[in-house]
Amino acid sequence: MMLLIARIAVGIGEASLSPAANSLLASRFPRHMLTTVLPIYTMGVKVGSAGAFILGGLLIAAAGVWVVTYDALADFEPWQIVFMATGLPAVLLALLVFTFKEPPRPAKKKAGVKPAAIIPFMRERKRLFIPMLIGFSLIALCTYSLTGWVPTYLHRHFGMEPVVYGPILGLISTIAAFTLAFKGMFVDWLYRRGMKDAHIRFYTWLLIGSLPVVFALFWVQQPVIFMIMYGALQVVSIPIMAYVSAAMQLIAPTELRGRITGVFLFCLNGVGGGLGPVIVGSLTEYVFRDEMKVGWSLAVLICTAIPLALVLLRLALKPLRAAIVEAEEREMIDSIFRFSETTVGEVMIPRVDVIALDRHASLQAALDTIVEGGHSRIPIYEDTIDHVIGVLYAKDLLGCYREGMQNVKITDLMRTPYFVPESAMVDDLLGDLQHKKVHLAIVVDEYGGTAGVVTIEDLLEEIVGEIQDEYDSEAPLIQRQAPGVYLVRGRVDIDDLNRELGLHLTDADESYTLAGVIFSHLQRVPDVGDTLDLDGARIEILAVNDNRIEQVRLSVVAAQEGPTGEGASGEGAL
């Protein structure tokens, strides 16, 4: 009974973390990276198991015998000491969960799913969820049975002791853990190339490849060959949670991700952990009636469950494709709702990045500017960029060259500019640009000066994501330099930065960019080398050009009380 209670406690800890962890990771990382990120998280279980196998085997070897009484430790047996020695450090490490910051997740005010909608949601997609639940539960049945009974099989069939098979099983578990990330990257690569069901389809490929091992494993009589085949089975097809989690995060609304993952964990752990070892034990005791036939029991189970799971998962592929397409459409609709609440000032190209020409520039200078900048429309100003008088189109300029009219002035070719205030809403502007058949608008501030420009492409990117062409060779706005350390351009949108890095950087001025937040807190133009501690992040200024923050190094640190300069090192610390 005490063992049962201890095992339940361990299970509660894992079950309470996994649904929330999967949902949080899905909110922090883009869809095309989930099958890379979630396996890395799942690696923790495999690496922990490997450490327990290795350390447990060594401790038992040190104890020297199976049963002994330690006066200094009351009546603890060696296996109990092993359990505590491997478990207590894990309890301390589990406290690291409190260092994880909740990523900002936009509230879904119009297209949200009600909290009680999980049952209708799953019922409407029963052709997907039923075969997936049963299929992966059967795999879990094999996973828990093999994990629980293979050590017994090794001891009974090959006469191996824990000190021998413990490190070997630990090594197998470690290799299986580190291959998860590589398999996940390959699945994400398939997904990015249009294979919507890559997460489950790839796993069915692994199952097909493992079938010869499944059918032959428990007929092998040489322990070395058995270990190699068992290791191959563990590495190739047994780890399933990463694939299940990635698929669930892709198809479920944000509000339901944790609960749907919880449903799958309940089925996988209930069927796998609750029934798997029991079935093997019952077959051994009541059917074969020989404790040496535990291998036969395992063979019957996996040779039945894995092929059946393969068939069921293949049936789920078509519904999975449909569900993922539906989820992508739902995400786009959510972007449209957010689109209606976004101002032009949030999406415009700021004034300092605008490429413009003086009205007196020559046609050759205009052509060089268009070629070097890679833009098809260039604002034309008089005296200063605050006085934009027209927009030059590349096709008009090229047409002029084709006709041999090189002496024409650019003011003769420019078209009338379309002006819009930076406080205008982007959904209204998109309709206006479409109606007037204009692709570029000049954004003006409250004083009538030029604040920037905005194109139809900038507006559409708010709905469908980043649109890149052959001229978009600029480095990403956020580049990972090391774990927790990023190179960030000053003009990155502050909401995008918060969402991607799980931060909560804000200021009283409600700035749109990271540079604006820094200026708001400093109240001055920073110098290169200055540092700022700001709500969970340490920011170091790397490049400033004409009073403009070009690039910073951002290190994610523990949350602090607020912005402060105390404790910052270096001569330029603030």
CATH number of the domain that residue 507 is part of = 3.30.465.10
Q: Which domain holds residue 525?
A: 478-556
228 and 282 in a single domain? The answer is yes
215 and 316 in a single domain? The answer is yes
Total residues belonging to the chain: 574
Position 14 in a domain: no
Position 231 in a domain: yes
From 309, 337, 365, the end of a domain falls on 337
From 410, 440, 464, the end of a domain falls on 464
Position 84 in a domain: no
544 and 433 in a single domain? The answer is no
Dihedral class, residue 157 (left if φ above 0, else alpha if ψ from -120 to 50, else beta): alpha
419 φ/ψ angles, rounded to the nearest 5 degrees: -105, 145
Q: Are strands 440-444 and 419-421 parallel, antiparallel or unpaired?
A: parallel
From 430, 464, 498, the end of a domain falls on 464
Closest of 141, 146, 192, 222 to residue 33, by C-alpha: 192
Position 563 in a domain: no
* Mean pLDDT, the chain cut into blocks of 10 residues (574 residues total): 60 56 60 62 64 62 51 55 64 59 47 59 90 90 87 89 81 78 83 85 88 89 91 75 76 78 80 82 89 90 92 93 83 66 83 88 87 86 91 87 78 90 86 86 89 86 62 68 85 82 76 85 87 86 86 74 39 38
459 and 502 in a single domain? The answer is no
pLDDT score, position 536: 77
- Read off the CATH number of the domain in which 35 is found: 1.20.1250.20
176 and 220 in a single domain? The answer is yes
Determine the residue type at 203: Y
pLDDT score, position 561: 40
| Burial of 461: CB neighbours in 10 Å, binned 0-12, 13-18, 19+ | middle
Three-state secondary structure call for residue 472: coil
391 and 531 in a single domain? The answer is no
| Positive or negative: CA dihedral 434, 435, 439, 443 | negative
Determine the residue type at 290: D
Position 6 in a domain: no
How far is the C-alpha of 292 from the C-alpha of 156, rounded, in Å? 6
179 and 257 in a single domain? The answer is yes
Total domains present in the chain:
3
329 and 390 in a single domain? The answer is no
- Read off the CATH number of the domain in which 421 is found: 3.10.580.10
Strand partners, 425: 343
Position 15 in a domain: no
| Positive or negative: CA dihedral 117, 120, 126, 130 | positive
200 and 180 in a single domain? The answer is yes
Position 142 in a domain: yes
pTM, whole model, 2 decimals?
Answer: 0.57
How far is the C-alpha of 293 from the C-alpha of 351, rounded, in Å? 78
CA 126-130-132 angle, to 5 degrees, is 120
Gyration radius (Cα) of the chain, Å = 31
Closest of 400, 395, 427, 424 to residue 412, by C-alpha: 400
274 and 397 in a single domain? The answer is no
Token couple for 11: 């299970």
245 and 307 in a single domain? The answer is yes
How far is the C-alpha of 125 from the C-alpha of 148, rounded, in Å? 34
Position 72 in a domain: no
442 and 525 in a single domain? The answer is no
How far is the C-alpha of 317 from the C-alpha of 310, rounded, in Å? 11
